[in-house]
Amino acid sequence: MKDGYGRTIDYLRISITDRCNLRCMYCMPEAGIPYLAHRDILTYEEIETICRALAQIGLEHVRITGGEPLVRQQCWRLVEKLRVISGIQTVALTTNGILLAQYAQQLVSAGLDGVNISLDTMDAAVYREITRCGDVSRVLAGLEAIQQYPQVTVKINSVLSGTNWKQTAISVAELAKRYPVHVRFIERMPLAEDNAPVCPQDDVLAALQTAYGAAQPCEKPMGFGPSTYVQFAGFRGKIGFISAVSHKFCEDCNRIRLTANGKLRLCLQSNQMIDLRALLRQGRIDELIPTVQEALKYKPQAHCFGQRGIETACMSQIGG
């Protein structure tokens, strides 16, 4: 798949639910959001149909996300369905990790290739504050559980915030020393009503270098995402940065998104959406491929986080 700027699009992020068992401050309001009705959410079979169509025109990688994907029943059934589609090379999951220990074995048996676990702090009280209700020990149990399956690539995603962010960054980065996992620091993106300052990549790297010595840049690109990575001596995993705000990466963008209710979203921060669910439920499956190909011509060149008021949804609704 090519978009209007000649970028190759081979990666689909699929939100399978807008529900979540946490309420992270930067993602969801404390009271939650008005949830989609169950009938409006794509079934696993409908998601499979969309992926089968897109795999015919170059879809290679999918990531299951949400909301919290593991709160949806039998999430591994979807992994199983997508993993056998010809052309799809990787099926990965992004989770807050709370239910990972419970489902790790089924997910891995279904063929899961990678899991990204979101973890913003190692401090139990701060974790509870950020997530408004979470128990960090469950996330760490999930991380331990997935270590039993070395075939699964594990990454930690960490959004830094608060005045103590330097110490937080140092303690979360330590996980890449203890485990063979990559730890990525994600700049907080100003979505919805969120106005909090970001902790810029260069400042985070400086803090880590003060603690762990000089980092070696990793020249070879790792994976196909927007992260840049460095290596610290003695660490088993790498440290990465995803800096949508301070280091815009849109020129290499390879991704599109599917929301839980079946809208194709061309950019994280764009209100342009194409209703694939309507095509499916009207029996117009033959139109999926031409519709997506036509839509891709209008994928924005870049996000515009600098401009307020464009994005009104939060990450859990978009499918982060």
Closest approach, Cβ 52 to ligand SF4, in A, equals 27
**Which is nearer to ligand SF4, 132 or 297 (by Cβ)?**
132
CA distance 19 to 26: 15
194 binds, among ligand SF4, ligand SAM, none (CB under 5 to 8 A by kind): ligand SAM
Asked if 146 interacts with ligand SF4 (CB under 6 A), we say no
- Binding mask 7-36 toward ligand SF4 (x if CB under 6 A, else -) reads -------------x-xxx--xx--------
CA distance 168 to 172: 6
**Residues listed for the chain:** 320
Binding region for ligand SAM (CB under 6 A) out of 90-98, 251-259, 275-283, 301-309: 90-98
Closest approach, Cβ 27 to ligand SF4, in A, equals 3
The contacts of residue 15 (CB under 8 Å, 6+ apart) are 65, 66, 67, 69, 257, 258, 259, 260, 318, 319
Asked if 204 interacts with ligand SAM (CB under 6 A), we say no
Chain residues 64-123 in contact with ligand SF4, contact rule CB under 6 A: 66-68, 96, 118
Counting DSSP H helices and E strands in the chain, the numbers are: 11, 12
23 binds, among ligand SF4, ligand SAM, none (CB under 5 to 8 A by kind): ligand SF4
Closest approach, Cβ 20 to ligand SF4, in A, equals 3
Is 257 in contact with 268 (CB distance < 8 Å)?
A: yes
Instruction: Mark out the alpha helices in 110-196 (DSSP H runs).
Output: 124-131, 136-146, 165-173, 175-178
CA distance 295 to 4: 9
Total residues contacting ligand SAM by CB under 6 A comes to 20
Q: What tokens does 288 get?
A: 């999926």
Alpha carbons within 13 A on the beta-carbon side of 192: 14
Q: Contact residues for ligand SAM (CB under 6 A)?
A: 20, 26-27, 65-66, 68, 94-96, 118, 157, 159, 186, 188-189, 191, 194, 315-316, 320
Q: Contact residues for ligand SF4 (CB under 6 A)?
A: 20, 22-24, 27-28, 66-68, 96, 118, 315-316
